[in-house]
A and B are shown apart, each in its own frame.
Chain A
């Protein structure tokens, strides 16, 4: 293998894993604050379609980015309202958000399927994704605010009695997660494969969710996990093109198998604490109780 080939492979892996990193780092913050949002796939789709439609209508990448992020804020804000103020079940609401996102994105995008656009270079966002991961890592390790978010996720009652506004902190975390998912969607439909096709996220939201568990809720490991998941998929294609046939279906399910394995390994209670799964994950907080 010559160096150009290897550089090319790394390039394709970087381009392919960036949406996973965006969505997963957003979800990591949400889960750290003690909320589980299963609506990633839906928010990514809505982010992708709103970016695409805005770009077609205005021709302006910046507007497309803004509208995309606004759509993510709206979707996640709605989710936050349901689970934080009405104390809806987080799993059910998250799934509903995905179903809603699939439906509304195909409705909005109906007349824009197959509209040609000029794609945007992915490299800027690749760099941004790596920077965000390290910033979030520092946020949790080095800043007071990061510690507060973690405290809210570990024990909302204690955080509440210390005088922190649990609901507000969780709301902001959920909004951050939503905007990151929308950014992942923007990247998909504007940079990665510049087009709109119904359901074009094709399960990447679920892989991002799995990635958070795989990373055992540590920011830097998201990067590692994403590059492993993405790298395996791309290497599989490279081997195929070299004439080495591997079962493609197996590689399609590999991220999920690995995640189930990680879940099994960390389900032992003591280890779980060590692995830093937020103790209050998906438990609703009611300050009146």
Chain B
């Protein structure tokens, strides 16, 4: 009898200890300083992921350094995209935060749910499309970066085969593939793009498998739309080229990394933090690109890229910023050969936001 109760207590203890480790590492509420306006962040991963969350955290730190003592920031990391998110967002709202950034697409409904109960708290949801009086949305035009890496890949490939690791078939990812392919095929009509859908944002081993499969099928350049640097590492090992994702990943694959599309949130966060401080905050939708400094190219790797290609890439950046170059410049046809963007016009934001088709020339079909 006695033994049994000790057992029960021990099992309970191990579950509680394990759970406590789990919860503290998941939901560590980290106060970084103290002063007037409190600004909170909800992260989907750990800030050390060197990808998506890392860049949001860089943005948070930038905002702190810009606005100094007028704000203080807090973040909760590793918040799953389910009912837990409601709890985490509510925790921030209840603890006196004035502005809360929720930094993943699937926090959309949870953000609105909490926002309804806290009309005085302002919310900003990344990459979503549902707004309210106290909920803004913001995203970045990553496809502008994809057109530049497409250009580079089209020029750099020798096998004319480019491997593309995609995450989930959503407009964001498909837009990236189209933008990339349009630029690559423009400079190299023979280019062939092979796409693998990993159905995950985050599984380093699987991402490496996908990269190795593509390399094995003849790809000499690996492009990824998943979150870890495993594909770039795999490319480095196999001696082929790659692009980083979300942040500059050159330190992990110095001989493969040509450049990366960086997500820069700092200027936007600083602007919105300032709006809270001076009381001018209103609900808006922001879709910033290179012009606004939200999308930035990592330093071009001089050891791999010839000077003329670097110069072309830089010129493309300048043209995107001054508006003379748009990644979706008509005429653009879909795979059925129908004209979707007429000559002389560019894709509007509505089409870009709901893009679920491949452009003509991609030898593949969008998964259902």
Do the beta carbons of A202 and B20 come within 8 Å of each other?
A: no
Do the beta carbons of B22 and A116 come within 8 Å of each other?
A: no
B78 — nearest CB in chain A belongs to which residue?
A198
Do the beta carbons of B6 and A113 come within 8 Å of each other?
A: no
Do the beta carbons of B199 and A249 come within 8 Å of each other?
A: yes
What chain B residues lie within 8 Å of A74 (beta carbons)?
Answer: none
Do the beta carbons of B18 and A103 come within 8 Å of each other?
A: yes
Does A197 reach chain B (CB closer than 8 Å)?
A: yes
A6 — nearest CB in chain B belongs to which residue?
B216
Does B24 reach chain A (CB closer than 8 Å)?
A: yes
Does B229 reach chain A (CB closer than 8 Å)?
A: yes
B233 — nearest CB in chain A belongs to which residue?
A194
Q: A237-B213, A240-B196, A241-B196 are in contact. Are A89 and B18 (CB under 8 A)?
A: no
Interface class of chain A by DSSP: helix
Size of A's binding interface in residues, CB under 8 A: 55
Does B68 reach chain A (CB closer than 8 Å)?
A: no
Segment at the B interface, from A104-112, A142-150, A213-221: A104-112
Does A92 reach chain B (CB closer than 8 Å)?
A: yes
Does A59 reach chain B (CB closer than 8 Å)?
A: no
Does B252 reach chain A (CB closer than 8 Å)?
A: yes
Do the beta carbons of A106 and B229 come within 8 Å of each other?
A: no
Segment at the A interface, from B125-133, B312-320, B360-368: B360-368
Does B158 reach chain A (CB closer than 8 Å)?
A: no
Complex: how many Å from CA A109 to CA B229?
17
Contact of A114 among B14, B48, B198, B209 (CB under 8 A): B48
What chain B residues lie within 8 Å of A87 (beta carbons)?
Answer: 3-4, 7
A interface residues with partner B (beta carbon < 8 Å): 5, 8-9, 11-12, 15-16, 78, 82, 86-89, 92-93, 96-97, 99-104, 106-107, 110-111, 113-114, 116, 119, 188, 192-195, 197-200, 202, 204, 233-234, 237-238, 240-243, 245, 247-249, 252
B interface residues with partner A (beta carbon < 8 Å): 3-4, 6-7, 10-11, 14-15, 17-26, 45-46, 48-50, 54, 78, 163, 194-200, 202-210, 212-214, 216-217, 228-230, 233, 237, 251-252, 363-365, 367-368
> Can you add 18 more A-B contacts, CB < 8 Å, to A103-B23, A103-B24, A106-B26?
A9-B216, A11-B216, A86-B10, A87-B7, A93-B11, A100-B18, A100-B21, A113-B49, A193-B230, A195-B204, A198-B25, A240-B195, A241-B195, A241-B196, A241-B213, A241-B217, A245-B364, A248-B198
